[in-house]
């Protein structure tokens, strides 16, 4: 209770943490500090709090969502259901696009100057030795083939991404960071933070790719027949996790970027 005091061993607060971690993150000591503060400290409880369930009223609804959009528990549940549905729909769309991508690659095998590209990789990346090039070249070639196919589809459907759309993408990302609290920040803060994010060229390129991929997905889906398949949550999560792991492995490639404008 409040006012109680007792000794404790700072090294027992977190499991499997070494001395360097304790000194830096728990004791906030300078790495150059050689003084040993010891293990035992005295802890005094100054304040005790207990979390309680919030009352389902308009104040709670306005704090959870933007003001005026939710007025009852039923509307609250509907918004939460929509949010969960949108989350899984986005994952489902990503898996569907992955299927589109693999099928298009299968139907459109593009010959590449493999020997030339291997030599170019070795010249472009001093860290790419022969063994690394041979290991990662198939993925590099596949990504290059996909870039060529993607760009052709984009031209065929006249798909474009404008600068204004990229700016909007970043401002929406900033709003997403702060959730319901974004209203108190002001539009100037949001725009300034978005501009700071856009100073990173790689983030801008990724935003362009994401927006173009969304348009590409919609364009391809409009001309193919999609058969829906129901899955359990466990099976769907397994598929999504596998796709994420593959995408992560692709991003970790040490070979040069193959994207073309």
- pLDDT tens column, 55-82: 899 988 888 876 678 999 999 999 999 9
Q: Report the pLDDT averaged over residues 40-67.
A: 85
In tens, the pLDDT along 147-190 reads 999 999 999 999 999 999 999 999 998 888 877 666 667 788 88
Please state the domain count of the chain. 2
Same domain, 20 and 120: no
Cβ contacts of 165 within 8 Å, gap of 6 or more:
211
User: Is the pLDDT assigned to residue 89 strictly greater than 50?
Assistant: yes
Q: Report the pLDDT averaged over residues 1-27.
A: 84
Same domain, 186 and 101: yes
Contact 124, 256 (CB under 8 A): yes
Which pLDDT value is given to residue 251?
A: 60
Which pLDDT value is given to residue 259?
A: 45
Question: Residue with structure tokens 């943490």?
Answer: 17
pLDDT band at 235 (very low <50, low <70, confident <90, very high): very high
pTM above 0.75, yes or no: no
Whether residue 124 lies inside any domain: the answer is yes
| Percentage with pLDDT > 70 across the chain | 92
First to last CA, the chain: 64
Contact 6, 47 (CB under 8 A): no
Q: How high does pLDDT run on average in the chain?
A: 86
Whether residue 197 lies inside any domain: the answer is yes
| Domain boundaries, position 191 | 94-251
Same domain, 27 and 123: no
In tens, the pLDDT along 105-157 reads 999 999 999 999 999 888 888 777 888 888 889 988 998 999 999 999 999 99
Same domain, 16 and 106: no
Whether residue 192 lies inside any domain: the answer is yes
User: Is the pLDDT assigned to residue 253 strictly greater than 60?
Assistant: no
Question: Residue with structure tokens 């918004």?
Answer: 79
């Amino acid at each position: 209770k409040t006012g109680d005091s007792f000794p404790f061993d700072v090294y027992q607060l977190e499991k499997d943490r070494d001395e360097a971690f304790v000194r830096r993150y728990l004791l906030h000591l300078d790495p150059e500090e050689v003084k040993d503060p010891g293990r035992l400290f005295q802890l005094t409880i100054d304040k005790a709090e207990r979390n309680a369930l919030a009352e389902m009223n308009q104040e709670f609804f306005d704090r959870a969502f933007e003001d005026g959009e939710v007025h009852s528990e039923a509307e609250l549940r509907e918004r939460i259901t929509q949010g969960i549905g949108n989350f899984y729909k986005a994952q489902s769309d990503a898996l569907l696009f992955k299927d589109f991508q693999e099928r298009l690659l299968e139907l459109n095998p593009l010959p590449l100057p493999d020997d030339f590209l291997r030599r170019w990789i070795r010249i472009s990346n001093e860290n790419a030795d022969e063994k690394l090039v041979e290991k990662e070249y198939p993925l590099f070639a596949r990504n290059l083939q996909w870039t060529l196919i993607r760009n052709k589809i984009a031209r065929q459907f006249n798909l474009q991404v404008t600068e204004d759309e990229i700016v909007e993408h970043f401002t929406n990302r900033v709003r997403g960071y702060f959730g319901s609290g974004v209203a108190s920040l002001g539009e100037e803060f949001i725009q300034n933070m978005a501009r700071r994010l856009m100073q990173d060229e790689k983030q801008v390129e990724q935003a362009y790719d994401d927006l173009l991929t969304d348009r590409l997905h919609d364009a391809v889906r409009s001309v193919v027949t999609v058969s829906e398949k129901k899955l359990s949550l466990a099976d769907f999560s397994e598929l999504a996790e596998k796709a994420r792991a593959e995408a992560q492995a692709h991003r970790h490639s040490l070979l040069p970027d193959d994207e073309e404008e």
